[in-house]
Amino acid sequence: MTSLRSIKARVERLLWGIAAGRCEFEGCNKVLYRHEITGSNENLAEKAHIHAVSPGGARYCPDNDGFKNNVNNLMLVCPQCHASIDRNEEKYTPENLFAMKYKHEKRIFKLTGIGAELHSHMVYYTAGIAGTHHSVNDGDARNALALFGRYPSDDSPIDLGQHGNLVEDNEDNFYDSNAKNLYRVVKSRISDVISAGENIALFALAPQPLLMLVGRLLNDKYNVAVFNCHRRKTDKWRWDETDSNIEFRSKMPDKVFATSGIALAFSLSSYIVPERIKAVLGDDIAIYIVTIDSPNRGFVISPNIMDDFVSKSREVMETIKQRHGKDNDIHVFPAMPSSLAVRFGMDYMPKTDNKLLIYDEQADKGFVYALSIGGNNDK
């Protein structure tokens, strides 16, 4: 006699396939074919009925008896989640469980549809900002990459950060130390490991001069997808699903004299008034500004916004070159989201662009010189 709980082998195989061998309980996602301690391959899965097969079972509904052992009524789960589901019927209603199952299986379908060639080396870069040491949440980054339509090339990311360096960004040797480390680590962990033309997914949180340098070092050999850290509690690196447009505007000086110095201000996350630049460089300065209507830190919500920014910043760089020539240095004053700082560095062309002297704003000092890009620095 066949048990009411008997699940046909073909149904079980189908469930394993659509769940990809992972627990379907939301937030778990545990691998169910490998022991997490011993690493041995085992079948650790249980099949949870959303509607119980018999009276007295969790979430039993007599109207659905012919449906009970159908794959649409089953969740592939780990033993702990199975127990939690059945012990908390009021909390885990059929509606909640069907939603979990649908969300998990939809995600698996989407991820397994990513082509084998669409892989990216995940690269993390962090450095202290105003005394705070940041980190990239690996789960958030991997989720953002998957939603971007790619998967990691390797089990572990490539970390470019200088760990153990307790020098703060307001100390004299902070930028020199971090810049030297970047040149070395990009060569040893990127240039000597990754082939030219391969895909890189970059997740970076650092002072803006260092982000520009990271972009410069990665700009000409690889296909780099830059991600932006968003101001939300979870999924901080995920792009919004809908495209958004931001109008970038440029402000050019009316008159330019041969003796004038050149300043380029990015007034994007906050507005930089010209007086703050003149306090550093003096009054004889031609100030070029790239800005938006309402500068703020959270407007970069889709990749196309970065592309629009690069178009506008390139336009301004070319205008500066035409007006001042290539041999005059540009003093760069950034107040911008991290992804745009990286993309500005990526767009830099050492053979044709002016040398950049990049400044960092510090709470007690105002803008101070940080590092340079171009000139003799480009090997």
DSSP 267-325: ESSS---HHHHHHHH-SSEEEEEEE-SS--SS---SHHHHHHHHHHHHHHHHHHHHHH-
Rg (CA), the chain: 27
pLDDT band, very low/low/confident/very high, at 2 (cuts 50, 70, 90): very low
pLDDT at residue number 219: 83
pLDDT at residue number 1: 35
Rounded to whole angstroms, the Cα distance separating 275 from 287 reads 10
Q: Which residue has the tokens 């003093």?
A: 331
221-265: pLDDT as tens digits: 899 999 999 988 888 999 987 778 899 999 999 887 767 799 999
pLDDT at residue number 379: 53
174-188: pLDDT as tens digits: 899 999 999 999 999
- The percentage of residues in the chain with a pLDDT greater than 90, rounded to a whole number, is 67
Question: Quick check: helix, strand or coil at residue 79?
Answer: helix
Residue 6, pLDDT > 90, answer no
pLDDT band, very low/low/confident/very high, at 96 (cuts 50, 70, 90): very high
Q: What would the mean pLDDT of 295-311 be, rounded to a whole number?
A: 95
361-375: pLDDT as tens digits: 988 889 999 999 998
